[in-house]
Structure 1
């Protein structure tokens, strides 16, 4: 090529760059997330460090099954409720109004807030009666995906549709992790005409098994289709908002890179072929889609054996689908380092808390408990601000139990007494059949009464719940 041609080519390239005509970075297909986009909560406060939203619980007709109306219980008229976004350190104000035919509260699952904002009726706040209002006002100190749901008749109210997501973002987090989706996994029980199943469906066996709805939902939709570009990463922020169902997700020929969980980023990422989320748990995963252009890939619910026949003769089911764009594969930016420094909690001088998850035999309704005592007869565990404790949760039943502690993060311990690696902050941990789980927790300076319970909400309502009284 002559020097003249070289000069002309260089000038054209410089002119194109100056005019902003450089090649665009590859992106997901247009409208790729429209089928699952969550309605955002409207921020009423102009200050950058304050998020103020209105949230109303009310009965609303929604369409879940095609052409059929369901009178569901909703936040702001939708299932799930609106997505609340905040940044680490923000003040969050939620002006709550109850227009339901029953009293309720809101629990902010996983958020390290003050006890009086935790939504535990009779302990941290009074029930909000029909027609009543309550203002939740708290600071969000930790990045991660959290969620909100009722704590009055929890199984029935959450099963009727009351739940939503709260995403707390960290501006210091590595960029270019992937195109982000918040995915609220749940289920709902519906009759053929679209009406809600009765809250006591299945009777005592329903309580014992834990009621699972027969319709799987992703952000309130049935088997939605999400667009994807081959070779580009997506970041899925998932929460299992089901009252009882365990979600085990699988995508053929793919592996999930789990980078975070209940309390934000892990110490380091870990790959897994299947992703298991018990009720209440969250996961932050990256996935790079592969396959033939134009193909559709099903993300499947795979039965998880949580005991007593819960996986017996149950078929797999599609949860949602990924439709690959009919265009050549793209090349994503290199994945930045995703790591977090988490110091193991010192257990040398820790107090012991030993709990058994129990079922009381006898006539009448199913009665569960902790250490043989149902929640309505139990005395609180007493602890002090600044203490560290090692909890041992032993399961004496034929069902797994996802154990949730309000208000505090903990580190799960292995059989050797050391924290399970990679280190992460948890607020919910699965306790298997005939097994036990241990975790270590430090009570920071937030005194008050805090719930702990099985997050199979039918079990919690049947008595598998207790209180922790942290005193100054």
Structure 2
């Protein structure tokens, strides 16, 4: 099936609509951005970092005119949205990239409420400033909070450290062998941030493997990323000049957390507060209270906190890296700002795990007969110069076939020693459970040497990308596709 098959248009026509059209013009272009005392030259949408959020209600039609102000082709992927296939923004799969100076019209119904975002799907453009939130309101939202705030997490190198294109070229040339991605970071030695490699000398066989496996101290394993970044940001700001969320004591704040990073998972916490997790990747869960959570690249979480009295750090620590943490502030009263470098206790307390998450009753996929089973093996090849699905790069891949209406079980088998945040386009899957109550997601951290089964209903026809949301792993080959049979 092609992205312009009549079945794609028929599925779009069948979506429930509000009758409202939200229009927007989006111009990716070179820009100079102040990160809070550090000015960098990068690319952004309309000069903002993050880009200006797009806010719609479920069932609205979104009409976006993309005007490419870059010197190279680009596209827009609407991350997590079950949209029509020819609007998904993946060059060589669903559309042609939009050439410099050219325009493209994205027009589709946004069917599901939740926290989403958008970004390019060309090269490593994501590791610039090209990203922004997409917030889809729910008319039936219970409203058990007083205000909401969007927090976008990001790892930053463009215009400061080594350019993303140079990092990718280094990996292609040198792979993991000489850590080529580490060069050029201000004030950092070449191995900073690769603490997961410490102590591996002299290890061989299973002993060395066991040392790198996930544990209570290293829940994603020892090796969590390939790039050490000079800075990490919350809403485009450095910790030294943080975004401040101003509220009042006892206000219930809904934080919509988006990880827009290219190579970094974050451990997120709010000092002096517990987090009530209500949604992940846009879909509701049975609420659970924790102190901290890990957000993989591309993942989103909604959490509610009841604000205390004072000034509190909002922290996002790069998981498994020695990079500086990202920080914002929550202020509900006068008081001194907590000093930089003093981490709150919450990140080391009760940490959310996927095992804690249960789909809310209204979004349970339910138990059912599996019509088709697929396997995706995740592997590293050529010392990190290539990352593969089922032994192939995207250029070499053969699409995995499904048929409309099928319930499909996909077995994700990670045969590498790094975690991979796997993202499926155009669908929300359920982590497989016998009772059918598996959490609904579109982005899932698959741990080293782990096997995870996910279930999806083939209800959105077309050709859909599946890939690792570490942008460097994706560009080095870790992407494939699921294609509907005609």
Fold conserved (TM > 0.5)?
yes
Asked if 1:57 is matched to 2:28, the reply is yes
- 2:85 counterpart of 1:115: yes
Q: Do the aligned residues in 2 keep the contact of 1:72 with 1:196 (CA within 8 Å)?
A: no
Residue 288 (structure 1) aligns with? 306
- Please give the per-residue CA displacement for 1:26-75, whole angstroms capped at 9, x wherever unaligned: xxxxxxxxxxxxxxxxxxxxx97110100011001111251x43221111
Matching residue within 145, 156, 159 for 1:188: 156
Is 1:390–1:440's contact at 8 Å kept on the other side of the alignment? yes
1:343 and 1:196 map into 2 onto residues whose CA distance is 44
Q: What corresponds to 1:232 in structure 2?
A: 251
Q: Does 1:79 align with 2:49?
A: yes
Structure 2 residue 110 is matched with structure 1 residue 167: no
The residue aligned with 1:348 is: 369
Question: What is the correspondence of 1:242-253 to structure 2 with a 5 Å cutoff?
Answer: 242-253=261-272
Q: For 1:195 and 1:77, how far apart are their aligned partners in 2?
A: 20
Match of 1:97 in 2: 67
Does 2:423 correspond to 1:453? no
Q: Which runs of 5+ in 2 are unaligned?
A: 1-17, 182-222, 336-358
Q: Structure 1 CA distance, aligned partners of 2:234 and 2:370?
A: 44
- The answer to whether the 8 A contact 2:45-2:130 is kept is yes
- Tell me if structure 1 keeps the 8 A contact 2:73–2:97: yes
8 Å contact from structure 2 (residues 128, 158) kept in 1: no
Q: Does 1:377 align with 2:396?
A: yes
1:418 Cα deviation (Å)?
Answer: 4.5
Structure-to-structure mapping, 1:31-430, within 5 angstroms? 49-66=20-37, 68-153=38-123, 156-189=124-157, 194=160, 197-201=163-167, 203=171, 204=175, 205=179, 209-211=225-227, 213-222=229-238, 223-266=242-285, 268-291=286-309, 295-304=310-319, 310-311=320-321, 314=322, 317-326=325-334, 340-361=361-382, 366-414=385-433, 417-419=434-436, 423-430=438-445
Q: Which has the larger radius of gyration?
A: 1
Query: Superposition RMSD on alpha carbons, in Å?
Result: 2.3
Distance 1:290 1:460, change over 3 A: same
- CA offset at residue 409 of structure 1? 0.6
Q: TM-score normalised to the size of structure 2?
A: 0.76
Residue 174 of structure 1 and its aligned partner are, at CA, apart by 1.2
Distance 1:234 1:128 in 2: 39
What is the Cα deviation at residue 212 of structure 1? 5.0
User: What residue number does 1:22 align with?
Assistant: none
Query: How far apart are 1:197 and its partner, in Å?
Result: 3.1
Structure 1 partner of 2:200: none
Q: Is the 8 A contact 1:177 1:286 kept in 2?
A: yes
- How far apart in 1 are the matches of 2:401 and 2:452? 21
- The SS at the match of 1:165 is strand
> 1:179 & 1:157 partners in 2: Cα distance?
32
Looking at structure 1, the residues matched to 228 and 295 of structure 2 have their Cα atoms a distance apart, in angstroms, of 15
State whether residues 347 and 440 of structure 1, in contact with CA within 8 Å, keep that contact through their aligned partners in structure 2: no
| Contact 1:113-1:138 at 8 Å conserved across structures | yes
Structure 1 residue 176 displacement after superposition: 4.4
Contact kept, 8 Å, 2:231 with 2:323, in 1: the verdict is: no
Query: 2:452 aligned with 1:437, yes or no?
Result: yes
CA distance in 1, matches of 2:138, 2:422: 27
Checking the alignment, whether the CA contact within 8 Å between 1:69 and 1:195 is kept in structure 2 is no
Q: CA deviation at 1:366?
A: 0.3
User: Residues 254, 301 of structure 1: CA spacing in aligned structure 2 closer, same or farther, 3 A cutoff?
Assistant: same
Per the TM alignment, residue 322 of structure 1 is displaced from its structure 2 partner at its CA by: 1.6
Shift of 1:372: 1.2
Q: TM-score, normalised by structure 1?
A: 0.78
Deviations 1:305-345 (A, max 9, x none): xxxxx34xx27735212223149xxxxxxxxxx96522334
Q: What is the number of residues matched between the two proteins? A: 393
**Cα distance, 1:302 vs structure 2:** 3.5
